[in-house]
Each structure stands twice: as structure tokens, then as C-alpha cells.
Copies of this chain bind each other. A is one copy, B any other.
């Protein structure tokens, strides 16, 4: 699969994909004889993972570290496991903050919807 096809599939730019490979967020991609990237299923799996974890706020650095450990072979299995657990902790922590924000938003929106109907904007405490 060409870089363009991968980009369309995952809605990402070629620049970003090349950047990910350059810095080590994904391992080096398979190439044609002419040097053009030709993504295999395995390559795509790495891409998919990178996109998924990035979209959950996992920093580039952590992804690079995981790939680095992976490439060092089986003796890094425990380290990789720990890295994933730490990552999970961070994502769960972040998600908690999202939930709190959503609660706040829901409260505000309910007040605003009432205000739009009645013309009266009332807050329990602080007017914001």
C-alpha cells in the first residue's frame, strides 16, 4: 500500500506518517526497489496503533520508547508491559478530567437552555 492510500485510510497526512517513521513512532517501513514506501499489513498495524494512542494523548516520546524496546527483543517484555501500564494510568487520569468537564458543561448547558426558553439565566452560585 502506498503512503497516499494509508493516509486516506487513516485520515492523516503523508508528512505526519513520514515524520512518525523518521522519529521512531513506527518502525522503518517496507520499501520498493526504488525506495518508495510500500506499507505491509504489519506496517499498517503500527500506524494504526500510533494513531490510536496519539489520539488518546500518549506523547510521541512514549511511543518511540515502546518501539525502541520492541526492537530490542524479548528481554524487554517486562519493560514494555510496565510502559503500557503507565500509559493506561495516564489515559485513565486524563479521562477523569474529561468527565468532570462534561459534568460542568452539562450543568451550564441546562442552565443556558432554560435561559433560551425563559429569558432568565440563573446559576446556583457564580454567574459564568
A11 lies within 8 A of chain B by Cβ? no
A38 lies within 8 A of chain B by Cβ? no
Give bound CA distance, A127 to B72, whole Å.
14
Binary per-residue interface labels of chain A (71-99) against chain B in the complex, 1 for a CB within 8 Å, 0 otherwise: 00010011011001101100110110111
* 29 A-B pairs with C-beta separation under 8 A: A42-B126, A45-B126, A45-B128, A52-B100, A52-B104, A53-B104, A53-B105, A55-B94, A55-B97, A56-B97, A56-B101, A57-B98, A58-B101, A70-B128, A74-B121, A77-B112, A77-B115, A77-B116, A77-B121, A81-B112, A81-B116, A84-B105, A84-B109, A87-B105, A88-B102, A88-B106, A95-B95, A95-B98, A95-B102
9 nearest CB pairs, A to B: A56-B101, A45-B126, A81-B112, A55-B97, A88-B105, A56-B98, A95-B98, A84-B109, A77-B115
Give bound CA distance, A34 to B91, whole Å.
44
Show the binding face of A for B, using Cβ within 8 Å.
41-42, 45-46, 49, 52-53, 55-58, 70, 74, 77-78, 80-81, 84-85, 87-88, 91-92, 94-95, 97-102, 104-106, 108-109, 112-113, 115-116, 121, 125-128
